[in-house]
Amino acid sequence: MRTTNLIVSILAFCTIGLTYGQRRKKNVVEEKPKVIAQSPKLVVGIVVDQMRYDYLTRFWDQYGEGGFKRLVNEGFNCKNNHFNYAPTSTGPGHASVYTGTTPAMHGIIGNDWFDKTTGEDVYCAGDDAYTSVGTTSGAGKMSPHRMLTSTITDQLRLHTQMRGKVIGVAVKDRGAVLPAGHAANAAYWFEGGATGNWISSSYYMEELPQWVLDFNASDKVEEYKKPWTTLKPIETYVESGLDVNNYEGLQKGETTNAFPHDLPAIWEDNGQFDLLRRSPFGNSITADFALAALEGEALGVDSITDFLAISFSSTDYVGHFFGVNSKEIEDTYIRLDRDLERILSELDNKVGKGEYTVFLTADHAAIHVPSYLMDSNIPSGYLDMQGMKAQFNEFLQYKYGTTDVVKNISNYQVFLNHKILTNLDIDVEQAQKDIAMEMLSYPGIGQVYTGYQMWQNEYVEGIPYILQNGYNQKRSGDVLLVPEVGYISYNRTGSTHGSPQIYDTHVPLLLYGKGIKQGSTVNRTEIPDIAPTIAALLGIAFPSGTTGRPIGEVLE
């Protein structure tokens, strides 16, 4: 019966494909691709790195009317929006927003991961086949080649016969490269150090365009080499903890982690322009450059839809260093709100109000600093990775007579050496089970799953569902670890992310502008739903690996 159904399905698919091909032949005489009435002149995708959903509500009274509040009040707010996979980190997050699928399909299983074929660590956007543009360093040797599926930005390029422009902008290279996709006109990112320039890769171009050269030659970035003081009186920052506390990092050259932060005084000790990444000024620089791209690339000036992909990276740097509950994170979001207002105002002026569409989301959220939670009597803690490693090596030696059966442990995954297991006549599936049972006994480990479980079962809810969506059969490990709720492997100061738990998965999704209804929903939406929603709005094909579904209640 299943075989019969499969044959019928294949025949039906072939028939549909033939019909589609015939329809395309009839349309080849058209001079321009069809543009539906509701298509905006420009789509602006905004990813705020490490933005928790509750940053919208916590800091609401601090926001002006033209930034976050404008998007919420005049657009559509998906209040129950989640990542449906783990690991929840920057590379997978940006890839999933723009591909409409999860690491199981698009293959970006981490920022870095252990390559089972080469035995080396690889970077999600790294590519030695290309050279840097705009710098003599290797910081531009990037491309999206490790992303296995197309993006919504790719589909726009295909639909418009490459006439719709796509530009990616972020402080982090991966925050620009992955959203821009495979067929982008350009992606640009920030090189700190002594230069503070915006750079790119020979994947996109041979040399920087004149507008980028002009921006780099200006004083735009240099203007932010100044003390970081709070934008508003610090006594009004009531949605964050004490300014002096034990939960924040201490920057080199400073004697306190409290405001103000004299950036020029600690400039040399903290990587010069790299220091701006760990301040709200990194976001302001990004907004400046994005607006320069709007002008320099003439985006949104005609009926052929363009796409500007912006990622604000500094929220992540500030969150990692100072933590979710810091005065610094509150100030960073107050300032980001001003930058958003600036961008929306320029879009009104340059593209026209009602002629563009914006979505805003995040690449992951973050946990409160566990030491703060512990002091507040909330269950949480830190994994003892050194102790765990020593205990695990003892187990391997006792069980298998060697520790070489394990190649690598990273991203909460264990990679086994299948060749050595075979030589020892040890069944891989049984080894996965044995190791899983051993590691489940370790303090701070809440759940453990095997690669065979990911292969053989189809999970539809809970933690295994989230893990399976993040599990790529060719790239992921043999054993998957899930820390107990509230536990992390990290410093005792600052916040992090990466888990399948709700504090890492719950992020904003705001949509605004042409083709978008005004309203909100508490129905669950998931990150892979964003790309097909935008595709439906534009009337273009979904990205090639799409597993998400359009959010119908958002669209007019």
Active-site hit among 3, 15, 57, 90: 90
Write down the pLDDT at residue 130.
99
Write down the pLDDT at residue 92.
99
Is it the case that residue 40 has pLDDT exceeding 50?
Answer: yes
In angstroms, the CA 229 to CA 234 distance is 9
Query: pLDDT for 428-449, tens place per residue?
Result: 999 999 999 999 999 999 999 9
In angstroms, the CA 249 to CA 376 distance is 19
Write down the pLDDT at residue 37.
58
Q: For the purposes of burial, counting CB atoms within 10 Å of the CB of 520, is it exposed (0-12), middle (13-18) or buried (19 or more)?
A: middle
Question: How far are the Cα atoms of 304, 402, 453 from residue 422, in angstroms, in the given order?
Answer: 57, 14, 20
Query: pLDDT for 327-380, tens place per residue?
Result: 999 999 999 999 999 999 999 999 999 999 999 999 999 999 999 999 999 999
In angstroms, the CA 85 to CA 96 distance is 10
Is it the case that residue 454 has pLDDT exceeding 50?
Answer: yes
Task: For residue 236, indicate whether it is catalytic.
Answer: no
Is it the case that residue 15 has pLDDT exceeding 90?
Answer: no
Write down the pLDDT at residue 30.
40
Query: pLDDT for 48-90, tens place per residue?
Result: 999 999 999 999 999 999 999 999 999 999 999 999 999 999 9
Q: What is the largest CA-CA distance in the chain?
A: 74
Question: What's phi and psi for 408, nearest 5 deg?
Answer: -160, 145
Question: What's phi and psi for 551, nearest 5 deg?
Answer: -90, 95
Write down the pLDDT at residue 38.
65
In angstroms, the CA 333 to CA 317 distance is 13
Which residues are 449's β-sheet partners? 480
Write down the pLDDT at residue 26.
32
Mean pLDDT for all residues in the chain: 94
Instruction: Tell whether 316 is in a known binding site.
Output: no
**What's the mean pLDDT in 15-33?**
37
Q: How far apart are the first and last CA of the chain?
A: 42
In angstroms, the CA 211 to CA 213 distance is 5
Task: Give the E-state strand segments of 355-472 in sequence order.
Answer: 356-361, 381-382, 406-410, 413-416, 445-450
Q: 45 near 97, Cβ under 8 Å? A: yes
In angstroms, the CA 213 to CA 134 distance is 8
**What's the mean pLDDT in 249-271?**
98
Is it the case that residue 461 has pLDDT exceeding 90?
Answer: yes
Query: pLDDT for 158-202, tens place per residue?
Result: 999 999 999 999 999 999 999 999 999 999 999 999 999 999 999
Query: What's the token pair of residue 1?
Result: 């019966």
Instruction: Tell whether 172 is in a known binding site.
Output: yes
SS3 per-residue string spanning 131-183: CEECCCCCCCCECCCCCCCCCHHHHHHHHCCCCCCEEEEECCHHHHHHHHCCC
Q: Could you give all domains of the chain from N- to C-terminal order, each with its CATH number?
A: 42-124+149-183+222-358+537-554 (3.40.720.10), 381-484 (3.30.1360.150)
Query: pLDDT for 273-327, tens place per residue?
Result: 999 999 999 999 999 999 999 999 999 999 999 999 999 999 999 999 999 999 9
**What's the mean pLDDT in 481-489?**
98
Instruction: Tell whether 173 is in a known binding site.
Output: yes
Q: 306 near 43, Cβ under 8 Å? A: yes
Percent of the chain scoring above 90 in pLDDT? 93
Closest CA to 123 of 90, 100, 150: 90
